[in-house]
Structure 1
Amino acid sequence: MKKSFFRLLSVAALLFLLFRPSIAFEGARNGLILWGSIVVPTLLPFMICSNVIVTLNAINILIFPVKKLLHQFFYLSDAGSYALISGLLCGYPMGARTCSDFMDSGRISSKEGRYLLAICNHPSPMFLLGYAASNLPSQVPVSILLLSIYLPILPVSLIAKVIYQVSEPERSLPTSKKSTQSFDDSMMDSCEIMVKIGGYIMLFSILALSITKLPIGVPEYKAVILGLVEITTGIKAISESFSGNLCGLWIAAATAFGGLSGIFQTKSVIKNAGLSIRHYVAWKAFHGLLTIILFILLSRVLELVPFP
Structure 2
Amino acid sequence: MKKSFFRLLSVAALFLLLLRPSIAYEGARNGLLLWGAVVVPTLLPFMICSNVIVALNAIHILIFPVKRLLHRFFCLSDAGSYALVSGLLCGYPMGARTCSDFMDQGRISEKEGKYLLAICNHPSPMFLLGYAASGLPQMVPVWLLLACIYLPILPVSIAARSCYRITGPVPSLPVNTKAAQSFDDSLMDSCEVMVKIGGYIMLFSILALYITKLPVHIPEYKAILLGLVEITTGIKAISETFSGMSGGLWIAAATAFGGLSGIFQTKSVIKNAGLSIRHYVAWKAFHGLLTIILFILLNQVPALVASP
TM-score range, shorter-chain basis?
over 0.9
1:148-187 matches, cutoff 5 A: 148-176=148-176, 178-187=178-187
1:300 aligns with 2:284: no
CA-CA distance at 1:113 after TM superposition:
0.2
Q: Distance in 2 between matches of 1:180 and 1:59?
A: 13
Equivalence map 1:103-182=2 (5 Å): 103-176=103-176, 178-182=178-182
1:227 has 2:227 as partner: yes
Q: State the percentage of identical aligned residues.
A: 82
Q: Any conservation in 2 of the 1:228–1:259 contact (CA below 8 Å)?
A: yes
1:64 maps to 64
Structure 2 residue identity aligned to 1:122:
H
Distance in structure 1 (CA, Å) of the matches to 2:72 and 2:287: 22
Distance in 1 separating the partners of 2:260 and 2:105: 28
Which residue number corresponds to residue 97 of structure 1? 97
C-alpha displacement of 1:274: 0.3
| Deviation, structure 1 residue 169 | 1.4
Per the alignment, residue 243 of structure 1 pairs with 243
1:264 and 2:246 matched: no
Bigger shift: 170-179 or 195-204?
A: 170-179
Which letter does structure 1 place at the counterpart of 2:9? L
Aligned equivalent of 1:215? 215
* 1:112-136 C-alpha deviation (Å, 9 max, x unpaired): 0000000000000000000000110
Give the SS at the match of 1:118. Answer: helix
The equivalent residue for 2:254 is 254
Give the match for residue 189 of structure 2.
189
Contact residue 105 and residue 177 of structure 1 kept, 8 A: no
**Secondary structure at 2:140 match in 1:** coil
Cα drift, residue 157 of structure 1: 0.5
CA RMSD of aligned residues (A): 1.1
Scaled by the length of structure 2, the TM-score of the pair is: 0.98
Report the CA distance between 1:185 and its aligned residue: 1.5
- Give the drift of 1:297: 0.7
CA contact (8 A) 2:87 2:93 kept: yes
Q: Partners in 2 of 1:99 and 1:287 — Cα distance?
A: 19
Give the deviation of 1:305 after TM superposition: 5.1
Amino acid at match of 2:256: A
Task: Report the 3-state secondary structure (helix = DSSP H, G, I; strand = E; otherwise coil) of the residue aligned with 1:57.
Answer: coil
> 1:57-85: CA deviations, max 9, x gaps?
00000000010111111100000000000
Deviation at 1:170, TM superposition (A): 1.8
Q: 1:208-238, CA deviations, whole angstroms, 9 ceiling, x for partnerless residues?
A: 0000000111101000000000000000000
Which amino acid letter does the alignment assign opposite residue 280 of structure 1?
A: Y
Structure 1: where are the runs of 5+ without partners?
A: none
* Runs of 4+ that moved beyond 2 A: 175-180, 302-306
Q: CA deviation at 1:18?
A: 1.1
How far apart, in 1, do the equivalents of 2:177 and 2:5 lie? Answer: 39
Number of aligned residue pairs: give it.
Answer: 306
Alpha-carbon distance in structure 2 between the residues aligned to 1:302 and 1:57: 47
AA of the residue aligned to 2:182: S
Contact 2:102-2:108 within 8 A present in 1 as well: yes
CA separation of 1:220/1:137 partners in 2, compared to 1, >3 Å: closer, same or farther?
same
C-alpha distance in structure 2 between counterparts of 1:198 and 1:152, whole Å: 29
| Cα offset, 1:177, TM superposition | 7.0
Structure 2: unaligned runs, 5 residues or longer: none
Aligned to 1:173, what secondary structure does the other structure show?
coil
Q: Which amino acid aligns with 1:47?
A: M
Aligned residues of 1:106 and 1:177 also touching (Cα < 8 A): no
CA distance in 1, matches of 2:225, 2:303: 29
Q: Report the TM-score, using the length of structure 1 for normalisation.
A: 0.98
Report how far residue 302 of structure 1 moved: 3.0
Question: Residue 180 of structure 1: CA displacement?
Answer: 3.5
Q: Does the 8 Å CA contact 1:118/1:156 hold for their aligned counterparts?
A: yes
